[in-house]
Structure 1
């Protein structure tokens, strides 16, 4: 009996090995011809996809699949011409399903689409300076009516080296007075905020959940889970949908009622992706974003993720009080009444009101 079982296992192993060998042999018959492709494209460019057929097999047709979506079928091994005009920026996987001699096989390669134009450097002018709570580890910053709403994380506070408590607060931006505040538990690290339809939405860093509050009373309406397991960083809205960053080059577009993903964009310049996109603000149809670790703001086209402008704000750090817990620029709030932008940083003692030249 043991002998028969051993024979069966051996036979099965041979059969599986044979199938795998056949599959690998089929895959090795063809490849997507990368000699006519580039590694990096811009949206105004296009490519010709064609198969290398070194064994001279008779190809009936080839179906090309870009990011799991069919983009066309060529008869025989004719070239498939494809424009990247409507494709997202970022990394793309192209597969080719080859039909030949009553068999099929699938092969693949990849490329990246970057922004068409280099970002332009904008200059700024400080028109006012206001006090800011030096213990506020700023994560979210947004005007609602005449009030500056701020979300903070539990970073160290004012040279103490001790971690603070994350909060959501209403602030008099002219005096720096915090006149309403709710605090999160020590196990929660508050992140970005945004206000839409009289509701404040607040993210947490690694707790995979966020909160919705009444904007007038700060009464918590609900807790929501992220649509997938990830970190929460920045938050903003366009008056209809929410935009959420998670520390990568992605910004997700969310339904404000279900908090489920509608779409996403990848953030790219004409040279590379921009990771660690942090605090977000919607200003005149564009997304303004802090980039963690860089004292600069990227202005992003929300339709395709292209970085169109950069504002270098590194000089501002020299204008705030130096102390051991001083951290990076983070906080962008647009005041629609004054049409000016308010910026600050983590544990900064000042807020700067600026205009862009």
Structure 2
């Protein structure tokens, strides 16, 4: 039998998470850019999922994966099991996804092709091409924003799917490379830095890193639960509850975070 939360909308479950008294809080930040957070709750995640993208939309949690038989699915937050809606041909290595205007946009890694699906039927509507690798993708309500593993973020027109702006991301030490999974959060771009435990907060007007999450504690916790756990990857934001969901490749858990000011 599934637990009762299986039948609750994601918003309600997240609001319950906000009210939990037991939580793990990070120590006060020493780095001026380091953001503190509280782990409000944890959800199951399929430890076989090589996660590439994570998105909350209309009370549902969507996930995309890479490697062979890359898929897009809707995740049961009790079991972590995905209801797979799209499975790519093995010729394609799936990457990030985002949802805008009732469409799902999916990148592939080195094939230089992206796919667009109808949100409700998951029927493939069209394809689009780009000149770089495809890594992460999000949107600001006007443009799609994609990463390619460099320090560059490209803003794409939603009609032509061509770049209209390129943003170079920097911190106090210079260019910030290996920008990967993306999420647009309250006017800023959150980006996972590939093969690190860090997520950076980027000002889209300047490209400057204005905040940083160090999730080393969560990476260690995931590794203890599943020795096969790989790197941090997967960011989703729920604007109503202001909670951030993070996970990683082959992680057995999704961590629900409250960012502390």
> TM-score by structure 1 length?
0.62
Partner residue of 1:187? 91
Partner residue of 2:122? 218
Partner residue of 2:15? none
Partner residue of 1:345? 248
**Are 1:119 and 1:310, in contact at CA under 8 Å, matched by a contact in 2?**
no
Structure 1 position 352, deviation (Å): 0.3
- Residues 11-26 of structure 1 mapped to structure 2, 5 A cutoff: none
Decide which of 278, 282, 291 is 2:184's aligned counterpart: 282
**Are 1:165 and 1:183, in contact at CA under 8 Å, matched by a contact in 2?**
yes
- Listed one character per residue, the Cα deviations across residues 277-324 of structure 1 (whole Å, up to 9, x for unaligned) are 000000000000000011111000011110000110011012222334
Runs of 4+ residues deviating >6 angstroms: none
Distance 1:152 1:202, change over 3 A: same
Decide which of 182, 189, 206 is 1:304's aligned counterpart: 206
Distance 1:204 1:339, change over 3 A: same
**Are 2:200 and 2:212, in contact at CA under 8 Å, matched by a contact in 1?**
yes
Decide which of 117, 122, 125 is 2:38's aligned counterpart: 125
Alignment RMSD: 1.3
Partner residue of 2:164? 262
Report the Cα distance in structure 1 between the residues aligned to 2:255 and 2:173, rounded to whole angstroms: 31
Partner residue of 1:61? none
> TM-score by structure 2 length?
0.85
Partner residue of 1:72? none
Gaps of 5+ in 1: 1-117, 155-163
Partner residue of 1:249? 151
- Listed one character per residue, the Cα deviations across residues 50-86 of structure 1 (whole Å, up to 9, x for unaligned) are xxxxxxxxxxxxxxxxxxxxxxxxxxxxxxxxxxxxx
**Are 2:71 and 2:84, in contact at CA under 8 Å, matched by a contact in 1?**
no
Comparing 178-187 and 240-249, the one that deviates more: 178-187
**Are 1:119 and 1:269, in contact at CA under 8 Å, matched by a contact in 2?**
no
Report the Cα distance in structure 2 between the residues aligned to 1:181 and 1:344, rounded to whole angstroms: 20
Decide which of 71, 78, 82 is 1:178's aligned counterpart: 82
Gaps of 5+ in 2: 1-30
Instruction: Tell which has more relative contact order, 1 or 2 (C-alpha 8 A, sep 6+).
Output: 2
Report the Cα distance in structure 2 between the residues aligned to 1:323 and 1:275, rounded to whole angstroms: 27
Q: What SS does the corresponding residue of 2:212 show, helix, strand or coil? A: strand
**Are 2:69 and 2:87, in contact at CA under 8 Å, matched by a contact in 1?**
yes
Structure 1 position 172, deviation (Å): 2.4
Does 1:142 pair with 2:55?
yes
Decide which of 242, 257, 261 is 1:354's aligned counterpart: 257
**Are 2:54 and 2:63, in contact at CA under 8 Å, matched by a contact in 1?**
yes
Q: What SS does the corresponding residue of 1:140 show, helix, strand or coil? A: strand
Structure 1 position 119, deviation (Å): 6.0
**Are 1:191 and 1:234, in contact at CA under 8 Å, matched by a contact in 2?**
yes
